[in-house]
Amino acid sequence: MRDFPSCFGESGVQVADASSNSGKTSQNLVTCLYSTQLCGSSCVISITWSKNMMGQGLSIGVDDSNNQSLCKVDIKPWLFSKRKGSKNMETEKSKVDVFWDLSNAKFGSGPEPVEGFYVAVLFDFQIVLLLGDLIKEAYKKTNAGPSPYNAMFVAKKEHIFGKKIYCTKAQFSDKGQVHDILIECDTIGLKDPCLEIRIDKKRVMMVKRLLWKFRGNQTILVDGLPVEVFWDVHNWLFDASMGSAVFMFQTIISTEKSLQWGSSQMLAEPQLRRLSFSLILYAWKSE
């Protein structure tokens, strides 16, 4: 599925991802997007973790407000032995440095490390983004201070796999609580399949008559915030060979302005950054 259906409305996030059409050979990917400023202009830092038969991989990119790549670092899975390093890059107006240490990183079932690592992105010798639990080690290695334009976590895109139950974790605001998300949908041999979503084991949504309601949206509450849930399970029900079902969880903002997600971009107006977050899940049925 190339995009969310246009019936999701003008205020929705536009989703485009070529890998969603690549069939069940799609690798396990998690992309996190962070909004910040570079030389007074908005930009997005993308952190993509990957996992396939070759191993773990990491890609770090910085895009400007026009979705043009300013710089990119790729640690290929087959080169993941380079678990520790740095890269310096120059843009037209600024210097960008990336430092990483994954030499003692511990991984769960997904491609993201859970502890024992750091990834730091610096603009002009100031840390705008610091991930991981090795905070002291990162500051010592980079010899840099924090930036006044600390990057805000604005979006996450993830591929998840299962037979009828699909699980992940997410937080719906930059400093919010991490929640367990469970999507359950059994479509095999049922005349009237239904879709159920639970957050922290509590059912927050159930869609019956799914054959007729295979696309739609509904508002739920998470941490006291309204969150719009969009779903498209057409491929699950009618053509499983075509790819994944897609779910999006988007915190509701107070204006009608839309938030755009391109293949590597999710930007909000500066005054909306603290209010908006989008989680996009590509759910693939396992054999």
> CA nearest 123: which of 192, 78, 70?
70
> Could you tell me the pTM of the whole model?
0.78
Per-residue model confidence as pLDDT tens digits over 115-135: 999 999 999 999 999 999 999
pLDDT per residue over 259-272, tens digit each? 444 333 333 333 33
Residue 112, classed as helix, strand or coil, is: coil
Q: How many residues does the chain have?
A: 287
Query: What's phi and psi for 135, nearest 5 deg?
Result: -70, -45
Please provide the DSSP assignment of 77-97 as one string. Answer: GGGTT--EEEEEEE-SS-EEE
pLDDT surpassing 50 at residue 19: no
What are the domain boundaries of the chain?
Answer: 6-27+159-285, 29-152
Instruction: Dump pLDDT digits (tens) for 34-83.
Output: 999 888 888 999 999 998 887 788 999 998 888 888 888 888 776 666 78
- CA 145, CA 147: separation in Å to the nearest integer? 7
pLDDT in tens, 126-161: 999 999 999 999 999 999 988 888 888 889 999 999
12: closest CA among 271, 247, 274?
A: 247
Q: What is the pLDDT of residue 67?
A: 82
Residue 255 gets the label, from left (phi > 0), alpha (psi -120 to 50) or beta, of beta
